[in-house]
Amino acid sequence: MTNSAVLLDRGIRCLNNELGILDAERFVALILRETFDYTEWRKNNLFVGMSIDEIIDEADRYCKENAKSATPQRSVKRVPLRKRVKVTA
């Protein structure tokens, strides 16, 4: 497990890299200002109605589209499922 200081540093770097400094600051301000429950949002909005295979395909597509030459890519190993599972809210 990562300690808090390292986690905060990595998170801010990620936000800055993806959003830029100004939008990263705006994002942090929004999170602090709003009553936002990320866990509840994730359950109701992220991957709803998608099978495990669809989630993996989306992750693969994202990795390929956002690959950076200095970043090593990890492949996602598909594990056969006995039955397909749909994520529900």
Mean pLDDT of 46-52: 84
What was the pLDDT predicted at 56? 87
Cα-Cα-Cα-Cα dihedral of 29, 31, 35, 40, to 10°? 170
Query: Is residue 70 very low, low, confident or very high in pLDDT (cuts 50, 70, 90)?
Result: very low
How far is the C-alpha of 73 from the C-alpha of 70, rounded, in Å? 9
For residue 16, what pLDDT is reported?
92
Q: pTM above 0.75?
A: no
Look at residue 15 in the predicted model and tell me its pLDDT: 92
